Structure 1
Amino acid sequence: MLTEADVACWLLKSSGRPAELPDGPAAGAVVLSRCLRRSYRLGLLRVGQPCVLWVSGRVDPGVAAVGRIASHVREEGGGPAVDVELTALADVVPRAELLLDPAVGSAEVLRMPAGSNPSHLRPREWAALSRRL
């Protein structure tokens, strides 16, 4: 079970690039609502914590945006959701590149790609990804 100390950054997955996410950082930040799976992890989410958007799939999977948790968890459409403020990256940080980095290669999203939202990055993983950003 995760503790607050285990989570340096939340990772929220999307099956594709959200239409509301502009192209590139020059467009600025946008607030998106993301669906979550009900679990004990929701009690660890805090407004202001860092987060990244992971786009899965066969075309360009990886980290597509970076930002922060922008709201408390709420019920929306029959399940939990949270707002995130995200800025798109100029280029996706590719999954294949992250797999090769020993500091990030053990991240939950890479070990268990079918896991649910929210996932997380541990301090070592987030530090390595931050250097790449």
Structure 2
Amino acid sequence: MDRVRTVSLDDLGAWLLKCNGTTSDVADVAARRDPVRRWCVQPSYRTELMRAGQPFLFWVSGERRVGPGIWAAGELTGPPVLDDGDHPKLRVPIELRWFDEGRRVPRDVLRADERLAGLEVLRLPRAANPSFVTSAQLTAIRGHLPD
């Protein structure tokens, strides 16, 4: 049975790539502003839609002490590719720009914005990468992002 395709490029605002802030060292990586050049994504019809030049938001999940929310933004620099490691994974090449700690967009701020009630990462926080942000949702999110 074919799965229903719930997203299309017709309404793509941005991809949303996620990281678990509780189980990873993302806070240290962000504090050092280390470059991140690729990110693991789950193979699906969505990854087949990913192309160079498309925007993405970088979401960190986890406990309140981690400060869950949007920590960075950027662009895809190509389509996802299978890496050649011992445990092959599908990774999308990215150009990421970290936000200063005080300029990140907290999850609670997004939850409080009624225009974002349908935001996939808030409705289905445990869904696989990548998540999808519509054009209208991205417009609302931009009002919360740093310049």
Alpha-carbon spacing, 1:109–1:81, altered in 2? closer, same or farther (3 Å): same
Q: Please, what TM-score do these two structures have when normalized by structure 1?
A: 0.88
Q: Which residue of 2 aligns with 1:88?
A: 98
Aligned equivalents of 1:108, 1:129: Cα separation in 2: 13
Q: Which residue of 1 aligns with 2:77?
A: 70
Q: Please, what TM-score do these two structures have when normalized by structure 2?
A: 0.80
Which of residues 4, 28, 47 in structure 1 aligns to 2:9? 4
Structure 2: state its 5+ residue gaps. Answer: none
Check the 8 A contact 1:53/1:65 in 2, yes or no.
Answer: yes
Q: Which residue of 2 aligns with 1:21?
A: 30
Deviation at 1:19, TM superposition (A): 4.4
Check the 8 A contact 1:20/1:32 in 2, yes or no.
Answer: no
Aligned equivalents of 1:47, 1:20: Cα separation in 2: 24
Deviation at 1:33, TM superposition (A): 1.4
Alpha-carbon spacing, 1:4–1:83, altered in 2? closer, same or farther (3 Å): same
Deviations 1:61-116 (A, max 9, x none): 00000111112210024121111111111222010110110112310000000001
Q: Secondary structure at the match of 1:109?
A: helix
Structure 1: state its 5+ residue gaps. Answer: none
Q: Which residue of 2 aligns with 1:129?
A: 141
Deviation at 1:32, TM superposition (A): 2.5
